[in-house]
Amino acid sequence: MKYILRFSLLFLTVLFVACNTKQTGTAIEQTAESIFPKGEKITNNNFSGTVYLKMMGASDTALHTSFGNVTFERKARTNWHSHPGGQILFITEGKGYYQAKGEPARLLRKGDVVEIPRNVVHWHGAAPDSAFAHLAISLNTDEGGAVWSGPVTDEEYAQAIKFEK
């Protein structure tokens, strides 16, 4: 009887761990199949939620371009911001959104490309039910880096994505 009880407890523990492991499947893990490195967790206040960044290439370049891999966990997003020299996003994993201020949000999936014109105030980030990753290429960086505004509030986020699930 004692052994049956012990075995049952072991079985339940294994089942519990297996189920919980499955629930975390929405986060994008760095795997052998990942094309680009995930990098380190962003600790500045220009983002909401958990976001990872891996800058790639030289930080000071004659090409006036900087580029990196950005990975957002579910619901994570940038603050409102603009780029004096413009920016291009290449979506590599998951599901997320891009929204220019005053316009409807655009649903984004792997393979989508977003061209962000100079000085357009916008945000980009993950969907509520999916992690999200994109390459971000900032252009004409000699004209200045990103100009940051306030956070995308929970109300603004909910409003932006309510028509797209």
Question: In 3D, which of 146, 138, 114 has the Cα closest to residue 61?
Answer: 138
Asked if residue 134 lies in contact with residue 87, where contact means CB atoms within 8 angstroms, the answer is no
For residue 10, the surrounding DSSP H or E stretch is helix 2-23
Measured between alpha carbons, how far is 80 from 155 in angstroms, rounded to an integer? Answer: 14
| Nearest distance from C-beta of residue 18 to Mn ion, angstroms | 39
Question: In 3D, which of 140, 45, 147, 127 has the Cα closest to residue 87?
Answer: 140
- Contact track, Mn ion, 31-70, x by CB under 5 A: ----------------------------------------
Structure-block tokens of residue 135? 């390459």
Give whichever of 36 and 148 is closer to Mn ion, judged by the CB atom: 148
Give whichever of 48 and 87 is closer to Mn ion, judged by the CB atom: 87
At position 19, the amino acid (one-letter code) is C
| Nearest distance from C-beta of residue 108 to Mn ion, angstroms | 13
Give whichever of 116 and 127 is closer to Mn ion, judged by the CB atom: 116
Give whichever of 26 and 54 is closer to Mn ion, judged by the CB atom: 54
| Nearest distance from C-beta of residue 54 to Mn ion, angstroms | 16
At position 41, the amino acid (one-letter code) is K
Q: Which one of the spans 16-24, 63-71, 85-93, 99-107 is the region binding Mn ion (CB under 5 A)? A: 85-93
| Nearest distance from C-beta of residue 83 to Mn ion, angstroms | 6
- Residue with CB nearest Mn ion? 87
Measured between alpha carbons, how far is 74 from 77 in angstroms, rounded to an integer? Answer: 9
Residues that bind Mn ion in the complex, under the rule CB under 5 A: 87
